[in-house]
Amino acid sequence: MHIARELFIRILAGAAVLWAAASLAFAVLQLFPSDPVQVIYGADSSVTPELRAAIRADFGLDQPVLVQYQRFVTRIAQGDLGISYQQRRTVASIIGSEIGSTLTLASLAVLAAVAMAFLASLLTAGRPGLLRRALSSFELLSVSTPVLWVGILLLTFFSFQWQLFPVVADAGWRSLVLPVATLSIAVFGSLSQVMREEMDRALEQPFILTARTRGLSEWAIRWKHALGHALIPAITISTETFGGLLAGSIVTEQVFGRPGLGRITLEAITNHDIPVVMGIVLFVAFVFVALNILADLLYRLVDPRLRVSSR
Amino acid sequence: MNPSSSELIDPAAKSPARPLSAWRRIPIGVVLATFVVAFLVLCALFPTLIAPKDPYQLSLLHSLRAPSPEFPFGTDQLGRDIFSRVVHGASYSLSIGIGATLIAVTVGLLVGLIAGSAGGAVDLAFMRIIDVLLAFPALFMSMAVVALIGKGSMNVLLAIAIAEIPRYARIVRSQVLVVRQSGYVEAALILGQRRSVTLIKHVLPNTIGPLIVLSTLGIGSAILSSAALSYLGLGPKPPTPEWGLMLAEGQGYLRKAWWIGVFPGIFATLTVVSTTILGRYLKALSDGRA
């Protein structure tokens, strides 16, 4: 029962953050008003005042600010993110048609990065040496190299010079290899740094000494006892690197010409299609809040100590 | 800690061997990073000294030339000297990186100081707003800001700064809370010093130290953001020799000319790696780990 109650409180708090985010977005839009007529017709001066008024009324822009705000919050709460100025489709359907591509890229990249970071921690935690120094240099490079440049390098050499992978984005799994590699290299660095640090700390704990005296092999100790401890910061950092992952996806999609969240965001920014920009911003905030709640649940799964203390 | 007081406490600090051994203990990576940063600053301040060729000079006769003694980094699709463009590009990346961080740190410091020292409802309100802002990923927020205020170098600088403010504000605020609890602030208040004076004389200087260290690390991530935003076409317009923009413009020619995609990226990476190494070293120093 306790877990259900805590979850309920967390969801309520998450909803409050989202409401505040939506209100903030609304306030910002009042400060920087955008004109749908301008976006749809450009500088075309033949738009009659009647047509202009009709279009503005269509988007509810003729209403007083308070009414607009009330409608805005009501429809956001119902999952309605509004209608694009440019495409005359709902923002939700625009996001829905592109999100699959981003999700595939991002989840594969996270899986690859977590697997690499696990391996790196297993091999090098608590062991000073050449391999560890090489890996930490690679981690430094990974967090300091522009994602777009990693993508361009991979594209230049693996696609153009050696022609190992296709340049086009729609050639099955082979066209996913380089984008996933690009994004996972970017995520790997920060993940691996934190995980190894945590495993270093775990290996100094008394229970490891106990396991050693029981005659467990070095690998068994690392695999069974220390790895679990590395999982906890991995969950934290995964939610924290969500921002990096999202930014990385946008850039990676652009480098490899893939469809996805990046493409629609850039299109919307270039066309001043503000409802789409705001819709995506709110959608991203929603995903972030949801991930944080999920991470809280995962902590309990991974760390038995939390389950005990919550009773 | 200031040096004169440490000498009073620790007589060993006066021994002549100490500065020498301290100098020796600086890791080689930090020394190299310092040289790289010095070189980049030189590139940003006096680009023509290092690369005398005009970065805007078109020459279709020389387009897509491979690196050679005449063009050390080759030429791009329009025959411009890439070495010259990359060297001139240092000023854009450095000024956006440093400028955005300065603005973010200053505003973050103000907000954090107000929230941390006012406490109560003001603190609560500020922190909730910051929590909400932190729900938006930084680069994403910068993109949204650019969508509202428009493209261009100055706007990118502002957009990056705005996205970083909440992070600094949160750090300053927690630092202020720690300093406020400390003995010397309590002593100052008991001695009858006014709160505002205490804030400026004691809280501010003890908050700024960690902030400077963190902002060194922040410069690197600001430069990464600016390269990404420029690459996405939200930053300066062509033919500006900005690194991210150069990579975007040259992407169509990578099949014939790998050097277009390589050298701007090397400079960007070197910049961020060096500032990150220096930032981490400063952080280790201030934590007493080095």
- Whether residue B290 is predicted with pLDDT greater than 60 in this model: the reply is no
* Mean pLDDT estimate for chain A: 82
B130 touches chain A (CB under 8 A): no
Q: Are A276 and B144 in contact (CB under 8 A)?
A: no
Could you report the per-residue pLDDT of B164-200, keeping only the tens digit for each?
A: 999 899 888 888 888 888 888 888 888 888 888 888 8
ipTM of the complex: 0.83
Q: Of the candidates A21, A32, A284, which has its C-beta nearest B148's C-beta?
A: A32
- Residue A66's closest CA among A74, A58, A76? A74
- Higher-pLDDT residue of B65 and B161 is B161
- Whether residue A240 is predicted with pLDDT greater than 70 in this model: the reply is no
Do residue A17 and residue B135 have CB atoms under 8 angstroms apart? yes
Q: Which of A33-42, B10-19, B214-223 bottoms out in mean pLDDT, i.e. has the lowest? A: B10-19
In a domain, B68, yes or no: no
CA distance A256 to A248: 12
Q: Of the candidates A148, A278, A289, which has its C-beta nearest B247's C-beta?
A: A148
Confidence of residue A181 (pLDDT cuts 50, 70, 90): very high
Residue B25: count of CB within 10 angstroms of its CB: 9
How far away is chain A from the Cα of B185, in angstroms, using its nearest Cα? 34
Which ranges in chain B belong to alpha helices (H)? 3-9, 17-24, 28-45, 47-50, 82-118, 120-134, 138-149, 153-180, 183-190, 195-198, 204-231, 243-250, 258-286
Structural domain for A46, as ranges: 2-77
Do residue A285 and residue B135 have CB atoms under 8 angstroms apart? yes
In a domain, B258, yes or no: yes
Three-state SS at B81: strand
CA distance B226 to B160: 7
In a domain, B5, yes or no: no
Do residue A21 and residue B136 have CB atoms under 8 angstroms apart? yes
Residue A8's identity, in one-letter code, is F
How far away is chain A from the Cα of B3, in angstroms, using its nearest Cα? 33
In a domain, A191, yes or no: yes
In a domain, B77, yes or no: yes
User: CA of B257: which chain A residue's CA is closest?
Assistant: A156
- Residue A195's closest CA among A141, A256, A241? A241
Confidence of residue B5 (pLDDT cuts 50, 70, 90): very low
Same domain for A142 and A243, yes or no, is yes
In a domain, A93, yes or no: no
Give the mutation candidate from A152, A178, A251 for the B interface (greatest B CB count, under 10 A).
A152
Q: Is the CA virtual torsion A153, B262, B227, A235 positive or negative? A: positive
Same domain for A169 and A51, yes or no, is no
- Residue B74's closest CA among B241, B264, B272? B264
Same domain for A110 and A231, yes or no, is yes
Q: Which of A191-195, A220-224, B227-231 bottoms out in mean pLDDT, i.e. has the lowest? A: A220-224
In a domain, A248, yes or no: yes
How far away is chain B from the Cα of A269, in angstroms, using its nearest Cα? 5
In a domain, A121, yes or no: yes
Structure tokens at B190: 């008991």
In a domain, B148, yes or no: yes
In a domain, B67, yes or no: no
Could you report the per-residue pLDDT of B114-155, keeping only the tens digit for each?
A: 888 887 888 888 888 887 788 777 888 898 888 888 888 899
Q: What is the pLDDT of residue B178?
A: 84
In a domain, A88, yes or no: no
- Residue B177's closest CA among B165, B185, B189? B185
CA distance B229 to B142: 8
Counting the structural domains of chain B, the total is 1
- Higher-pLDDT residue of B151 and A230 is B151
- Whether residue A310 is predicted with pLDDT greater than 50 in this model: the reply is no
Counting the structural domains of chain A, the total is 2
How far away is chain A from the Cα of B28, in angstroms, using its nearest Cα? 13
CA distance B47 to B41: 9
Same domain for A149 and A63, yes or no, is no
Whichever domain contains B276, its CATH number is: 1.10.3720.10
Could you report the per-residue pLDDT of A99-148, keeping only the tens digit for each?
A: 988 988 988 998 899 889 888 888 887 777 888 888 888 988 988 899 89
Confidence of residue A60 (pLDDT cuts 50, 70, 90): confident
Could you report the per-residue pLDDT of A145-160, keeping only the tens digit for each?
A: 998 999 999 988 888 8
In 3-state terms chain A splits into helix, strand, coil percentages (rounded to 5) of 80, 0, 20
How far away is chain B from the Cα of A246, in angstroms, using its nearest Cα? 8
CB < 8 Å to B255, chain A: 160
Q: What is the pLDDT of residue B96?
A: 92
Could you report the per-residue pLDDT of B212-268, keeping only the tens digit for each?
A: 888 888 899 899 999 999 999 998 888 889 999 999 988 888 888 888 889 999 999
Confidence of residue B106 (pLDDT cuts 50, 70, 90): very high
CB < 8 Å to B140, chain A: 243, 246-247, 250, 281, 284
User: CA of B280: which chain A residue's CA is closest?
Assistant: A140
What is the pTM (predicted TM-score) of this model?
0.84
Could you report the per-residue pLDDT of A74-89, keeping only the tens digit for each?
A: 888 888 888 888 888 8
CB < 8 Å to A285, chain B: 135-136
- Residue A284's closest CA among A234, A236, A235, A250? A250
Same domain for A243 and A110, yes or no, is yes
In a domain, A284, yes or no: yes
- Whether residue B276 is predicted with pLDDT greater than 80 in this model: the reply is yes
Q: Are B171 and B210 in contact (CB under 8 A)?
A: yes
In a domain, B178, yes or no: yes
Confidence of residue A72 (pLDDT cuts 50, 70, 90): confident
In a domain, B213, yes or no: yes
Do residue A144 and residue B128 have CB atoms under 8 angstroms apart? no
CB < 8 Å to B143, chain A: 250, 265, 269
In a domain, A84, yes or no: no
Residues 6 or more apart in contact with residue A56 via CB below 8 angstroms = A36, A37, A62
- Higher-pLDDT residue of A240 and A4 is A4
Same domain for A26 and A61, yes or no, is yes
Same domain for A194 and A225, yes or no, is yes
Q: Are B85 and B238 in contact (CB under 8 A)?
A: no
Same domain for A218 and A250, yes or no, is yes
In a domain, A146, yes or no: yes
How far away is chain A from the Cα of B174, in angstroms, using its nearest Cα? 19
Rounded mean pLDDT of A209-232? 77
Q: Of the candidates A160, A243, A269, which has its C-beta nearest B138's C-beta?
A: A243
**Of A13, A44, A77, which residue is a domain's last?**
A77
- Higher-pLDDT residue of A62 and A188 is A188
Percent of chain B with pLDDT over 70: 91
Same domain for A53 and A182, yes or no, is no
Structural domain for B212, as ranges: 29-56+73-287
- Whether residue B163 is predicted with pLDDT greater than 60 in this model: the reply is yes
Same domain for A157 and A214, yes or no, is yes
- Whether residue A228 is predicted with pLDDT greater than 80 in this model: the reply is no
B148 touches chain A (CB under 8 A): yes
Q: What is the pLDDT of residue B144?
A: 86
